[in-house]
Structure 1
């Protein structure tokens, strides 16, 4: 049975990626950047199509990050991303979804576009948020 893995990189520009694990690890099927509400809508569509038991969200949890660089503006942005991680966790619980909150250190973040293309084979245009979401689910085996 196919398992659908959804990668979420929280933030104003929500990174959103879909990978399908058909027993060989998650193969990317979609990599993009959306608003938080658009991403939540797509999650609901995937649940309707594949069933809750076959879908799991892998959400980068900025609340677990303890290292930061930059000034006051950067700190405000970090606070916003942490709040978004909490929103995602609350929403998943309210909806009864399968999800894992992933420590940022456990993900290959900030992958440059050329390296991402070589590593994943994904040739379409991406931004940093979309790539971060994709790396949460690329070649990952479903754990639910």
Structure 2
């Protein structure tokens, strides 16, 4: 069994957990947290399931080369890029397995109704939580 954690970086960190028992990740948690709350939750998962079973999938906006929206949007982009770097450094320091995912390689920006149809997740979500969930929904780890 593998525990897959999707991270959508930002002030509101999207955080999703899926369990992969060989057939792809089944969602068990889809929420939004602060970055420090998300890091604490990853540590809890590592202690609960063992660090060797936990895999993080972090959306990496540093790989994105297209942006629109002016100065304020650019400042927000800079913030999420910094958060991605923080996550990468934190994973290295804590020896947690991670993969940085290019934004174009993730299905994002699903509206709530579409997300429910695609994933079967009926709980309440926000855009960040849904983006994190799509990083791990039906994903399989081959390790």
Normalised by the shorter chain, which TM-score bucket? over 0.9
Match of residue 130 from structure 1: 129
Match of residue 28 from structure 1: 27
Superposition CA RMSD, Å: 0.6
Match of residue 77 from structure 1: 76
Distance 1:134 1:14 in 2: 12
Per the TM alignment, residue 143 of structure 1 is displaced from its structure 2 partner at its CA by: 3.5
Match of residue 109 from structure 1: 108
Distance 1:89 1:141 in 2: 21
Instruction: Give CA deviations for 1:95-132 in whole Å, capped at 9, x if unaligned.
Output: 00100000000000111111000000001110000000
SS in 2 for 1:12: coil
Alignment partner of 1:42 is 2:41: yes
Per the TM alignment, residue 142 of structure 1 is displaced from its structure 2 partner at its CA by: 1.1
Distance 2:38 2:52 in 1: 19
Q: Structure 1 regions of 5+ residues with no counterpart?
A: none
SS in 2 for 1:66: coil
SS in 1 for 2:32: strand
Q: Structure 2 regions of 5+ residues with no counterpart?
A: none
Instruction: Give CA deviations for 1:17-45 in whole Å, capped at 9, x if unaligned.
Output: 00000111000000000000000000000
SS in 1 for 2:107: coil
Count of residues paired in the alignment: 143
Distance 1:143 1:104 in 2: 22
Per the TM alignment, residue 52 of structure 1 is displaced from its structure 2 partner at its CA by: 1.0
State the TM-score, normalizing by the size of structure 1.
0.98
Match of residue 92 from structure 2: 93
Distance 2:124 2:49 in 1: 27
Distance 2:68 2:123 in 1: 31
Distance 1:81 1:143 in 2: 28
SS in 1 for 2:66: coil
